Amino acid sequence: MTFNPSDLWAVAPEMVVLAVALAVILIELLATRREGVLQGVAAVGLLAVMAVAVWSLGRPTGAFNGMVARDGLTVFVKLLLAGVALLAVLMSRDYLMGLDKSAPTGVREEVKGNPPLPPPAIAGGEAGVRHGEYYALLLLATCGMMVLASATNLVTLFLGIETMSLALYVLAGIRPERPRSGEAALKYFLLGAFSTGFLLYGMALIYGTTGGQTNLSMISKAVADLGDGAPVMLFAGVGLLMVGLLFKVAAVPFHFWSPDVYQGAPTPVTAFMSVGPKAAALMAFIRLFGWALPDLADVWGPALWMVAAATMTIGNIVAIAQRDIKRMLAYSSIAHAGYLLIGVLAAGSPGVRSAATASMLFYLVAYFLMNIGAFTIAILVSRARPDGDYQIDDYQGLGASHPYLSAAMALFMISLAGIPPTAGFFGKLYLFSAGVNAGLVTLVVIAVLNSVISVYYYLRIVVYMLMRPQPSPVEVRISPAMTAVVLVCVVGVIKFGVLPGSMMDWARSGAENMAQPTPQVVVDVNDPSQIRQSDR
């Protein structure tokens, strides 16, 4: 096996993300109290990542002996992930600065009361969050997601998941002064570690039953060779792998962590978590189940069908009962994961594979815009309150004092509900028609009924904002960065709701332009001479 320098192109975006993450940490050490600089470096770095991602686009191929793919699909997803991270970075500074100001004074005094303590050398103040650390973790999580989305080997898949998850565990608990943040981090970590165990066990079983394969297309071949004689252990392995991934997607019944984590984590992190890991894990799903294991669709199909139906139904019904907007959005994002699983299922039938993948990509773009937009406004509204809470009641009468902000929020809610002319509508249409094409009519009908249920709680926000009197005046301050985030989301939701053609074409060419690389050197574990050779 030789090292091919052009392989580096496949991971160029990841390398740039890593470089930016390291740069942010270094800058924080050198320059004190330069939150703006840190944010700027992270944002510009992510723009560079996007540029590099576009630049790295080439003929679909693999890299590093079939460990990762270099194709249209990964470029599309990496652009999406960098976009998610970029908007999260843009909304973070205001949020973190707000924390610094509102940090409990008791903590601050206690720290100041310690004479030997050196003058604050880190941005963000004593009680606040270290901005550099925060951005670096965000970027590291992005890096992990990118690896996960391009993984074509169980090893890289695991590597991506763990890089992503470890960074997210810390991000969820980055506000130690808040018990809820700690609770979120602990819950996320414990359950996440558990799910990793499942994932790893599943990988081990697959490795064992396919004759020592970790490359996805080799696994696919091995499964095809096994035919009807596939051992039960293989099915168990596939099932365990599915559990591990479903946990990351927060699908029912592996969703219990997500509302608590979403509520407890800092809101920009929640916004980031509600889109990024889902997108990355779903891409792994597509590669693993849609492209590598369609032969076993009889086995994983029915299970995933039930999971999808349960996920959207439970997500939507429980969302109705929520009084906290972050929890409501958490359950709504569970429901959206359920819709997206229709795409994974549809990708299992070979004729619809590309169309289903493309529809998922389009849906993810739409979901990214409307969800990040909604979270941004949730941050703005909560910051206008003295206690910084996220009650839905806080939205009463917002339309009277902040008409534009309310109009934007209404747009996001309408888009999340899937009503035209918004991106959310076309996302659902594209996804559901792929489902119908793949013969999943019953599931699509369930999804359509679920959309009706979801209208109820999404429109409740709109009713509160526009049709109720304001109990007490609130003053929402909007910084330029936040305005930019909201504007990007508004423009995107309208643009892809009126003229979705271009994005659909990109999604389609991304999905069609997909590589499933095989290793050039195949190690046969049953051949002792080869093992010795590779050991050398």
Partner 1 sequence: MGSLTLLTFIPAAGAAIVALLPRDNPKLVRWFSILVTGIVLAIAVSLYPQFDRGIVGIDQEATFQFVEKGAWIPAFNINYFVGVDGLSFPMVLLTALLCFLCIPASWGITKGVKGYHALFLLLETGMIGVFVALDFFLFYVFWEIMLLPMYFLIGIWGGPRRVYAAIKFFIYTLIGSLLMLIVMLVFYFNVRDPVTGANTFNMLHMMSQANHGGIMSLNHVRVLLFFGLYICFAIKVPVFPFHTWLPDAHVEAPTAVSVILAGILLKMGTYGLLRISYPILPDATHSFAWFLAVMGMINIIYGAFCAMAQKDLKKLVAYSSISHMGFVMLGMSALTDAGINGAVFQMFNHGTITAMLFLLVGVIYDRAHHREIDGFGGLANVMPRYLGITSVAFFAGMGLPGLSGFISEAMCFIGAFPVWRTLTIISIGGIVITAAYLLWTIQRMFFGETNPKYADLPEINGRELFTLLPLAAIVIFLGIWPHPILGLMNTSLSYLGELVRSVAPL
Query: Which residues form the interface with partner 1 (CB under 8 A)?
Result: 399-400, 403, 407, 414, 419-421, 425-426, 430, 432-433, 436-437, 445, 448, 451-452, 455, 459, 463, 466-468, 499-501, 504-505, 508
Least separation in angstroms between CB 471 and partner 1: 16
- Our CB check for partner 1 shows the closer of 274 and 406 to be 406
Least separation in angstroms between CB 461 and partner 1: 13
Q: What is the DSSP string of 344-382?
A: HHHHTSGGGHHHHHHHHHHHHHHHHHHHHHHHHHHHHHH
What phi and psi, each to the nearest 5 degrees, are found at residue 61? -155, 180
Which helix (H) or strand (E) is 88 found in, with range? helix 72-102
- Our CB check for partner 1 shows the closer of 53 and 447 to be 447
- Our CB check for partner 1 shows the closer of 27 and 466 to be 466
Give CA separation, 200 vs 21, 154, 221, 245, in Å.
28, 9, 21, 11
CA–CA dist 127, 117 (Å, integer): 13
Q: Is the dihedral of CA 146, 257, 84, 446 positive or negative?
A: positive
- Our CB check for partner 1 shows the closer of 137 and 335 to be 335
On the 0-12 / 13-18 / 19+ scale of CB atoms within 10 A, 351 is exposed
> In which region does residue 477 sit, left (phi positive, over 0), alpha (psi from -120 to 50) or beta (all else)?
beta
Query: C-alpha dihedral over 357, 359, 363, 366, to 10 degrees?
Result: 120
Least separation in angstroms between CB 282 and partner 1: 20
- Our CB check for partner 1 shows the closer of 135 and 458 to be 458
Least separation in angstroms between CB 448 and partner 1: 6
CA–CA dist 446, 435 (Å, integer): 12
Least separation in angstroms between CB 118 and partner 1: 52
- Our CB check for partner 1 shows the closer of 266 and 399 to be 399
Q: Residues 39, 87: contact at Cβ < 8 Å?
A: no
- Our CB check for partner 1 shows the closer of 137 and 503 to be 503
CA nearest neighbour of 125 among 143, 139, 108: 108
Least separation in angstroms between CB 434 and partner 1: 11
Q: What is the DSSP string of 257-304?
A: HHHHHHHHS-HHHHHHHHHHHHHHHHHHHIIIIIII-GGGHHHHHHHH
Least separation in angstroms between CB 407 and partner 1: 8
- Our CB check for partner 1 shows the closer of 299 and 453 to be 453
Least separation in angstroms between CB 422 and partner 1: 10
- Our CB check for partner 1 shows the closer of 223 and 446 to be 446
Per the DSSP assignment, residues forming a β-bridge with 153 are 215
CA–CA dist 243, 300 (Å, integer): 11
Least separation in angstroms between CB 502 and partner 1: 10
Q: Is the dihedral of CA 193, 199, 200, 205 positive or negative?
A: positive
